[in-house]
């Protein structure tokens, strides 16, 4: 589902880089470069680099939902990281699927100039993706404590995944693994929902689901 939703969001995009004289971004020191690096790494078959461009907690939770992972496996992904064979299989499938779906490689896309904003104490950037004035999408990036930027797939896909995230959260039982996932919801899902709501693109129905989920996590 993650792949389907992201394909739908990005497949029609032929982007023109914005930003005027800002120059070539370097590393992951800005939101635009995080997105560009993500795209390039996927098409290069560099799974570790693709994963490094994405907030690891957000990717682990999306993988848990998409693959119906059990509590122990989800907690292990959150604590120990996503196994390299899972990363490689996932991103290879993503690259192949995107190319088939969009008739172009994902690295053919470029990104627009970001808008940085705060969402309940976490710094985000809205990175526009567009094939022209009538066709736009957004990738959300999140700034870490060290000042670097990563793609937040939970925020980016919040409209399609908010109800699924709520279902997963409500199914959690007792135990250390469940507590690990609950902690990740507080660190990852809550700020992502606030970021998506702050953007305002997903509408009132999404806002109601997101606010309910945030309330459950925070209670």
Instruction: Summarize pLDDT for 97-133 with one digit per residue, the tens.
Output: 877 776 677 776 667 889 999 988 899 999 987 655 5
pLDDT at 16: 38
Contact 109, 135 (CB under 8 A): no
pLDDT-derived band at 24 (thresholds 50, 70, 90) equals very low
Q: What is the pTM of this model?
A: 0.82
| Mean pLDDT computed over 34-38 | 90
Locate 129 and state its tokens. Answer: 């993706």
Phi, psi of 216 (to 5 degrees): -65, -40
Q: Is the separation of the CB atoms in 109 and 129 below 8 Å?
A: yes
Q: How many CB atoms lie within 10 A of CB 146?
A: 6
Which position has the token pair 């930003």? 19
The pLDDT value recorded for residue 61 is 94
How is the chain split into domains, by residue range?
Answer: 2-218
The 8-class DSSP code of residue 15 comes to -
pLDDT in the model for residue 90: 87
């Amino acid at each position: 589902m993650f792949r389907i939703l992201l394909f739908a969001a990005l497949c029609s995009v032929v982007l023109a880089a914005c930003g005027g004289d800002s120059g070539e971004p370097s590393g992951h020191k800005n939101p635009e470069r995080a997105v560009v690096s993500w795209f390039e790494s996927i098409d290069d078959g560099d799974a570790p680099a693709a994963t490094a461009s994405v907030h690891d907690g957000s990717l682990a939770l999306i993988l848990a939902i998409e693959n119906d992972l059990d509590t122990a496996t989800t907690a292990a992904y959150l604590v120990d990281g996503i196994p390299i064979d899972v990363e490689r299989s996932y991103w290879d499938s993503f690259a192949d699927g995107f190319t088939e779906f969009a008739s172009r490689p994902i690295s053919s896309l470029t990104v627009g100039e970001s808008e940085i904003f705060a969402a309940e104490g976490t710094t985000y950037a809205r990175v526009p993706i567009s094939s022209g004035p009538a066709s736009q999408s957004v990738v959300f990036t999140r700034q870490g404590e060290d000042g670097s930027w990563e793609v937040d797939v939970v925020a980016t896909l919040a409209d399609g995944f908010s109800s699924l995230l709520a279902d997963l959260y409500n199914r959690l039982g007792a135990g250390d693994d469940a507590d690990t996932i609950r902690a990740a919801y507080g660190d990852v899902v809550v700020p992502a929902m606030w970021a998506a709501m702050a953007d305002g693109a997903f509408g009132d129905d999404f806002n109601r689901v997101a606010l309910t989920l945030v309330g459950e996590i925070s209670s």
